[in-house]
Amino acid sequence: DTEVTQTPKHLVMGMTNKKSLKCEQHMGHRAMYWYKQKAKKPPELMFVYSYEKLSINESVPSRFSPECPNSSLLNLHLHALQPEDSALYLCASSRGTAYNQPQHFGDGTRLSIL
Amino acid sequence: KNEVEQSPQNLTAQEGEFITINCSYSVGISALHWLQQHPGGGIVSLFMLSSGKKKHGRLIATINIQEKHSSLHITASHPRDSAVYICAVTSSGTSGSRLTFGEGTQLTVNP
């Protein structure tokens, strides 16, 4: 069982829908991440939160809106997505953002945009 | 040219074989990670290395900083080892949160 829990596991939505992806960890980690992964490609970093503040935004379109309500939770709000946004969305956490602290990944949410 | 190159891209082995996956990188690094991704999607961190060698069960990871090269070895391979293995690095001078990933190696172990 992974220590980073993502819900839902699968999501199908239309281009006009609004939905949210959720990520939770109870390891006391203070850094949390969102990645996007297309088939047969490595993950691409989207956002990093450090101590509940957004520290990295990799020029992600505004139709993706992250939120970190507290140190255990990370949300990704989705609105007006495009078919090319269909992908596996992975959440990860680490104790901090120093180089020697490995990231722990969730199982991902597989998102399909109709 | 990618900053992190893995070889081979695909690898098929028979159960019990010794397996080696290679990773070369072209930047100065603070740490190198080996990750495992199963078909369901979840990623597991196998090793984090900055020098030398680490062993966990049947898995061994080595790194040669001078040659900018790392290897992941699997001894006595088993079908449950079938997965994508990803090498990732944290470049020197960048935030530790920013990983640069290789393209991954798809490993299939047949019974």
Tell me if chain A has a CB within 8 Å of the CB of B33. Answer: yes
What pLDDT, in 10s, does the model give residues A80-100?
A: 999 999 999 999 999 988 777
User: B60, exposed or middle or buried, with CB in 10 Å at 0-12, 13-18, 19+?
Assistant: middle
Q: Mean pLDDT lowest for which of A15-19, A72-76, B67-71?
A: A15-19
How high is the pLDDT of residue B40?
Answer: 81
Tell me if chain B has a CB within 8 Å of the CB of A83. Answer: no
Tell me if B30 and A100 make a contact (CB, 8 A cut-off).
yes
Mutation choice for A interface testing from B30, B63, B97 by most A CBs within 10 A: B97
Tell me if chain B has a CB within 8 Å of the CB of A11. Answer: no
Give chain A positions within 8 Å (CB) of B43: 43, 90, 92, 105
Chain A residue nearest residue B88, CA to CA: A42
Give CB contacts under 8 A, 24+ apart, made by B92-95.
B92/B27, B92/B28, B92/B29, B92/B30, B93/B28, B95/A48, B95/A55, B95/A56, B95/A97
What pLDDT, in 10s, does the model give residues A22-51?
A: 999 999 999 999 999 999 999 999 999 999
Q: Are strands B10-14 and B59-64 parallel, antiparallel or unpaired?
A: unpaired
Mutation choice for B interface testing from A6, A99, A100 by most B CBs within 10 A: A99
How high is the pLDDT of residue A81?
Answer: 93
Chain A residue nearest residue B93, CA to CA: A99
Cβ-nearest to A2 among B42, B50, B90: B42
